[in-house]
Amino acid sequence: MNCQEITKFIEKVFTQKELIFGVSLSSLPESIALVDEIKDTAEKCSPYSLNILKRVNLSNKLDLSYVGDFYDGWALAKKGGMKVFVNTKGDFLLGQDGKPLEFTAADRFSEGLAAVRVDGKLRYLKLDGTLLPNEYTPMHGDLEYLRFSEGFAPIVPNRGTDQKLYLRRDGTEMLMPDSMISLGHFGKEGYALIYFKDASYQFMSPLGLILEAQNGSTRFRSAAAFSDGYAPVKTSEGWSFMDRRGKFRKGKSGKELVLTDRNIDGIGSQRDGWFWVRVEEDKQKFVNLDGDYFVDEFGRDKFDAASSFSEGFALIYTDNPDGKGVKHSFVDVNGKYLRGKDGKILEFDHAREFDDGLIRVRDELSSAKYIDHNGREINFGKQ
């Protein structure tokens, strides 16, 4: 099979099986047996074809309605309303009784541990099928928030239960003061962002050390996590960009860069060289480390709404003239919009951010489409 034939095969599969994008469930075609034969060609055709085919194959062989991506050798899957874990060989993760482990709620593995619910409690599953002895009643129902990152998982319990803490992979705990409201993840930059009851922010290392800024401050009026060496922080003077040593970024003039615009309500972490900025009237902008604001190909620097950049593109939301709903388009880091073969800007009623080279989009009266960085469409059946 050539690349074109493989693409058509994948499209046919997606119209018949719920796998990764929520497509309606029914039986797979007989041609799924071709997976093993075409996997080498599929890998050359696109970066995502082989991954899709592996997951389709497992879904068919094991009667799974969902198979996620593989992390630490295991994929989170859905079987009969329960969450299970499966590897690339089609083996289920087994418990001590030799039976496949099943959970009512579970998240994917991260750093060798997966957050799962057992008897209403948060537990952490190890790669060998055993559980850490720790159990919690977390405030956050979203297990994704409870993933491990750089050796720690943040645990913020329901009010009146356990103390706020960071859980280490070996099950030991680093207890946090009650004055903290929320605990951020430790990133590769070496710090977690902590939010306090007095509405201030602080950066803490895995050793519990607090980052001190060059002006002596350890608390900020607002802040976002470190990314690519810098974190946006708000001081009494305005917004600045601070590095991991506590030094503030200098502007083109050689002086400390401070964004004094009082209309700035918040700044997010840096992605693809741009910081997401919320301004007055709930509008969005982007700013870089030099203090320059992003401008699109039409000269616009402010948007009705926008996501942070992902894989070189930001999702732009534009209110419809009739006030009913919004249109979604995609702009790259250079201000150019994603266009179709006809040269027109691609706009949709529903869209998500880029993930592994694809975005899922849909109009109200049409089927779902999956678009790559070049605006090429793959149809995956009516939703």
| Contact present, 117 and 105 (Cβ < 8 Å) | yes
Classify residue 101: in a domain, yes or no: no
Band (218; pLDDT cuts 50, 70, 90): very high
Classify residue 381: in a domain, yes or no: yes
Calculate what percentage of the chain has a pLDDT beyond 90: 58
Give the single-character DSSP code of 169: T
Higher pLDDT, 30 or 130: 130
Q: Note the pLDDT of residue 353.
A: 85
Q: Note the pLDDT of residue 293.
A: 96
**CA distances (Å), origin 349, targets 24, 71, 320:** 20, 32, 10
Lowest mean pLDDT among 104-108, 330-334, 353-357: 353-357
Total structural domains within the chain = 1
C-beta atoms surrounding 87 within 10 Å:
14
- Is the model's pLDDT at 299 over the cut of 50? yes
Higher pLDDT, 370 or 8: 370
Give the single-character DSSP code of 50: H
Q: Note the pLDDT of residue 224.
A: 96
Write out the two tokens for 236.
């009494």
- Is the model's pLDDT at 183 over the cut of 60? yes
Higher pLDDT, 360 or 227: 227
| Contact present, 174 and 189 (Cβ < 8 Å) | no
Write out the two tokens for 113.
């541990």
What average pLDDT score do residues 104-118 get?
Answer: 96
As a whole number of angstroms, the distance between CA 367 and CA 383 comes to 6
Q: Note the pLDDT of residue 3.
A: 57
What average pLDDT score do residues 93-103 get?
Answer: 95
As a whole number of angstroms, the distance between CA 23 and CA 38 comes to 23
C-beta atoms surrounding 134 within 10 Å:
18
SS3 category, 41? helix
CATH code: domain of residue 332 = 2.40.10
Q: Note the pLDDT of residue 158.
A: 62
Classify residue 86: in a domain, yes or no: no
As a whole number of angstroms, the distance between CA 319 and CA 301 comes to 16
Write out the two tokens for 185.
């993840």
Q: Note the pLDDT of residue 271.
A: 95
Classify residue 339: in a domain, yes or no: yes
What average pLDDT score do residues 80-94 get?
Answer: 92
- Is the model's pLDDT at 59 over the cut of 90? no
What average pLDDT score do residues 202-212 get?
Answer: 95
Lowest mean pLDDT among 94-98, 317-321, 354-358: 354-358
What pTM, to 2 d.p., does this model score? Answer: 0.78
What average pLDDT score do residues 194-217 get?
Answer: 95
Band (27; pLDDT cuts 50, 70, 90): very low
Most confident range, picked from 55-59, 89-93, 126-130: 126-130
As a whole number of angstroms, the distance between CA 107 and CA 117 comes to 9
Q: What is the mean pLDDT of the chain?
A: 83
As a whole number of angstroms, the distance between CA 32 and CA 10 comes to 10
Classify residue 357: in a domain, yes or no: yes
Classify residue 311: in a domain, yes or no: yes
Which residue segment(s) compose the domain that 301 sits in? Answer: 295-383
Q: Note the pLDDT of residue 15.
A: 43
Higher pLDDT, 292 or 51: 292
Q: Note the pLDDT of residue 26.
A: 35
| Contact present, 56 and 33 (Cβ < 8 Å) | no
Q: Note the pLDDT of residue 8.
A: 57
Phi, psi dihedrals of residue 365, rounded to the nearest 5°: -110, 20
Classify residue 22: in a domain, yes or no: no
Classify residue 377: in a domain, yes or no: yes
Give the single-character DSSP code of 106: B
pLDDT in tens, 308-354: 999 999 999 988 776 667 899 999 999 999 999 899 999 988 888 88
Amino acid at 222: S
